[in-house]
Amino acid sequence: MTTKALILFSGGQDSATCLAWALDRYDYVETVGFDYDQRHSIEMQARQDVLTAFKTELPNRSARIGDDHIVDLTALGAISETSLTRDTEITLSESGLPSTFVPGRNLIFLNFAAAIGYRRGLTTLVAGMCEADFSGYPDCRKDTLDATMKSISLGMDTRFTLETPLMHVTKAGAWEMAFALGGEPLVELIRTQSHTCYMGNHDALKPWGYGCGTCPACELRAKGWEQYLSGL
């Protein structure tokens, strides 16, 4: 029997690592991205760049990559007053959450991904949520995701499962996982092609990749890279 999965794919370090993970475990993998009127269009471009690099630079995996889907969720951006959907400074709210938190984003992503999966016979979803090195987003927590998947399975009367290979993995661990999956070529692909920076900076390549170097996402990525190198 052919094993299949649908991966929530943004083109960042985590989702690129998860794509490699999925291609190592499933016979056939489709990808889905979400245009929610992000502040920076580079994210949508990066996901295409990473997909192209997987197909051209890692040809032994390319045969397993199927269709890519883009879902228009601009309504989410329209109702989200966040630093990812507005040109505003990244700050901390009174609750302690950074202003980069887009309320409901991952919950909405999972529901739309499952709707696509239902139609295409892809009942295993793969996503890069993590509660080891993250900004405290409540929709990245395992208990939140478990509850969401239970609701999806009940509402669609189909058993869906969610794989989150990075759930308890640090950013250094994500680099280590990439190396274990594809060696230096995969690490270099993720370093030079993926995009994680909240500020949309994709101008100059730093040792750990592209980015401003000062936003929370860049700081996590840079710290993880340093820890990864120190463990080699």
Q: Residues 78-113: pLDDT tens digits?
A: 666 655 455 666 555 566 655 566 677 889 999 999
Residue 213 reports pLDDT greater than 90: yes
* 119: pLDDT strictly greater than 90: yes
Spell out the residues 6+ positions from residue 17 whose beta carbon is closer than 8 angstroms to its own. 128, 165, 166, 174, 177, 178, 181, 190
Alpha carbon 105 to its chain's center: 12
pLDDT reported for residue 80: 67
Task: Tell me the pLDDT band of 215, cut-offs 50, 70 and 90.
Answer: confident
| pLDDT the model gives residue 42 | 86
CATH homologous superfamily of 4-170:
HUPs (3.40.50.620)
Q: What is the mean pLDDT of residues 14-40?
A: 92
Q: Which residue has the higher pLDDT, 152 or 201?
A: 152
Q: Is the pLDDT of residue 124 over 80?
A: yes
Domain spans in the chain, listed from the N-terminal domain onward: 4-170
What separation in angstroms does the CA of 154 have from each of 148, 151, 159?
A: 10, 5, 8
Position 187, amino acid: V
pTM for the predicted model, two decimal places? 0.90
CA distance 64 to 138: 33
pLDDT at 165 over 70: yes
Contacts of 115 (CB under 8 A, 6+ apart): 156
Of 37-41, 154-158, 218-222, the range with the lowest mean pLDDT is 37-41
Q: Is the pLDDT of residue 210 over 60?
A: yes
Q: Is the pLDDT of residue 205 over 90?
A: yes
Burial 95-129 (b: 16+ CB within 10 A, else e): eeebbbbbeebbbbbbebbbebbeeeebbbbbbbb
